[in-house]
Amino acid sequence: MIERLTECNFKLNRPAECSETIVKEQSSAYIYRNHADDSAMDTDCSTSTGVIDAESFAEDEETEQVPVVIPLAHKIYYNDLVMKIIVGYIGNFKDRCNVELSSKRLRKLSRLCEYKPLRGSYDLLEATFQNADERLSLCLAGNKVDVPILIASKRRMINYGTLTNTQLPQTLDKISRYFDRIAGQMRRLRIGGLIHWEDVIGLLPNHQIVITSDFIKLVVEKCTKVDRLCLRNACIDHDAVQLMLADTTNFRRNLKEVCLHSIWFDDLDDCDKFTAAFLPPKLRSLHLSDCCNKMLNLMAQELTRRAQTIDFCYMSLDAKSFDQAKPPRHAFRDLIGRSNRVAIEMRANCKSDYMFHALKDITRFDKVVWLELSLDKGCISSGRYAGAFKRLQRLTNLETLRISGHGYSISSSTMADLCHSLSVLTRLKEFVLRNAAWHLKEADYALLAQTLRKLTILGLDRCQFLTNAHLLTIIQNCPDLEAIYLVKCPRLTCRCLREALDRCQRLRAITAVGFDHIDQFVYNAIVDSRRTPELRSASLSGHKRPLEPEIEDRLRQRFPVVFALGKDKYAPRDFTYRMAREGYERYFDWVGKFGVCVSCRQYVNSSDDDDVN
């Protein structure tokens, strides 16, 4: 604020700019005022102490009009352009209200100027659950307010078993006043569900919010400039669907990106109406997760009926996505056909063969750029799935590949097929391999190390026989690595970690979790900006004793947030809720994200084994 004020002062001292920026009553460096105007001005701005110096207006009280030089503080206060800039950087809502109460002029300017973020973003509003009770937290660039909200578990208990379709009046009033301040700047809106770290850790219940007609009416009337909407773990009642059908505002027409995660309806027929009423005409990006086969079919049919093509489509598929499908894969196949770029997350198990059909259809399209496969125990090792990874070589535009196998899913034969496909995928930039410990030997990792090239992101999790030589070979073949995630690889040592830091000059993020011991030399390489010039984040776990005070000071100087976990330094009882929250937020931002919507970055499926040692 002081630097911005100094910059404005410097601009006001320029003669050429003074004539353009001083208020309308002022035509030059001198103005003429009478004492009646001065008293009226003091009355209007009596609460702004220190801004106006009344004694500097005139020295002779007997003179009716005298030329006076406007003080610098006087110029700034009466310059609307400068005051808009200054008031705009007051991002806290309570502080902004106090400024508006000081004078009518500031109240008017505050309503006209936009919020300019010093930290965070004022175009994203998250309405998520951050409390154990049924209160929805509205968060925007550090401003937070909690309001009671109707959830599905308490919906029938209010009116003795009957469904409640209205929100509390005080809830709507508080949300309306909140929207009035930032609706003009808001471009992204997320409603329902938990924030990232809460969903994974499971400390809070993931309440299912009820989207009622009065709530959706408030949203469509206030948030007319929103172009990205995310609904997560929400139940949409019948009246809300009818309101969407009759919607004549610009809310739906302005939407360009829609994310739907775990959406439910009171009536099954409302699903058809919701798809027809809610799918925007200018849709460019569609994200579907935890959706039934009927929802996928309706989306594909509506896009086909409109002859509409979208730029990007994300789908999270599981057994529920293929239930009662005839044939079982028409829904997502049609969605791929109506999209230019496709991201697919698929979770398979050995009890169903839907993944066998899905992989055959997925590999027919070269539009897939992001693929994540979560394989259950035994689903790939069976004879029918032999050679399944060979089909991946047809995805010539694939940029991200994440494979999560549970022990017996990945064997030496499947690894050979995978390496054969990786050697053909020349555009691959990100590769993550997780839970591949049981059947893979050193020779399999050696083949993988020779195959991976031109990567920018590498993630290896629970790779039991991965050695230092394998990792250094990958680093040598991939000089443009920007992020390395190593989780519970027992054969990797600190010497390999130090060499990786020295060789990767473009490294921006590193995660090393589950190491037996991380010595001080690794921390010296991290805090030395000459050895790691591009490093922006680091997450390490495994040091046996407290860090040296000098290392801690240098870590805090380089990184804005430092969260160090050591078994001897902190006891579990010493951890507070705030420390765990901050630490896990950074940890899950740095490690490979499994089950994450690639656009809205919300966790779709919780992980059961993301822990910090």
| Sign of the torsion formed by the C-alpha atoms of 452, 590, 340 and 305 | positive
Which residues have C-beta within 8 Å of that of residue 410, sequence separation ≥ 6?
375, 380, 403, 418, 436, 439, 440
Inside any domain, residue 136: no
Provide the residue type at 511 as one letter.
T
Q: What is the pLDDT of residue 323?
A: 63
Q: What is the pLDDT of residue 75?
A: 55
Cα angle at 107 between 170 and 182, to 5 degrees?
A: 50
Cβ atoms of residues 309 and 281 within 8 Å: no
106 vs 10, higher pLDDT: 106
Select from 278, 294, 199, 273 the least CA-distant residue to 231.
Answer: 278
Q: What is the pLDDT of residue 57?
A: 38
Inside any domain, residue 238: no
Inside any domain, residue 528: yes
Which of 77, 112, 147 terminates a domain? The answer is: 112
Q: What is the pLDDT of residue 128?
A: 85
Whole-model pTM over 0.85: no
Place of tokens 């839970």: 435
Quick check: 12 pLDDT over 60?
no
Quick check: 511 pLDDT over 50?
yes
Inside any domain, residue 59: yes
Confidence of residue 475 (pLDDT cuts 50, 70, 90): very high
d(CA 304, CA 141): 39
Quick check: 231 pLDDT over 50?
yes
d(CA 84, CA 89): 9
pLDDT tens digits, residue range 483-497?
Answer: 898 888 888 888 898
Quick check: 538 pLDDT over 50?
yes
Inside any domain, residue 436: yes
Q: What is the pLDDT of residue 182?
A: 80
Quick check: 51 pLDDT over 50?
no
Would you mind telling me the total number of residues written for the chain in this entry? 613
Weakest-pLDDT range from 219-223, 271-275, 438-442, 507-511: 438-442
d(CA 343, CA 335): 11
Quick check: 153 pLDDT over 70?
yes
d(CA 527, CA 549): 13
d(CA 218, CA 173): 10
Which of 89, 112, 135 terminates a domain? The answer is: 112
Quick check: 613 pLDDT over 50?
no
- What is the number of domains present in the chain? 2
Please give the average per-residue pLDDT across 449-466, as a whole number: 87
Domain CATH number, residue 445: 3.80.10.10
Question: Which H helix or E strand runs over 525?
Answer: helix 520-527
C-alpha distances out from residue 485 to 372, 429, 596, Å: 17, 14, 16
pLDDT tens digits, residue range 194-227?
Answer: 765 566 556 677 788 888 889 988 888 888 888 8
Inside any domain, residue 405: no
d(CA 46, CA 31): 22
What do you get for the CA distance between the two ends of the chain, in Å?
Answer: 42
Which of 78, 112, 146 terminates a domain? The answer is: 112
Confidence of residue 267 (pLDDT cuts 50, 70, 90): confident
Tell me the residue range of the domain where 479 lies.
429-613
Q: What is the pLDDT of residue 134?
A: 83
Inside any domain, residue 37: yes
Q: What is the pLDDT of residue 471?
A: 92
Cβ atoms of residues 476 and 467 within 8 Å: no
Please give the average per-residue pLDDT across 12-35, as a whole number: 35
How many other C-beta atoms can be found within 10 angstroms of the C-beta atom of residue 206? 16
pLDDT tens digits, residue range 85-140?
Answer: 788 788 788 888 888 888 888 888 887 787 776 666 677 888 888 877 888 888 87
Inside any domain, residue 552: yes
Q: What is the pLDDT of residue 76?
A: 54
Quick check: 337 pLDDT over 50?
yes
Confidence of residue 341 (pLDDT cuts 50, 70, 90): very high
Average pLDDT, the chain: 72
254 vs 112, higher pLDDT: 254
Weakest-pLDDT range from 317-321, 345-349, 375-379: 375-379
Confidence of residue 464 (pLDDT cuts 50, 70, 90): confident
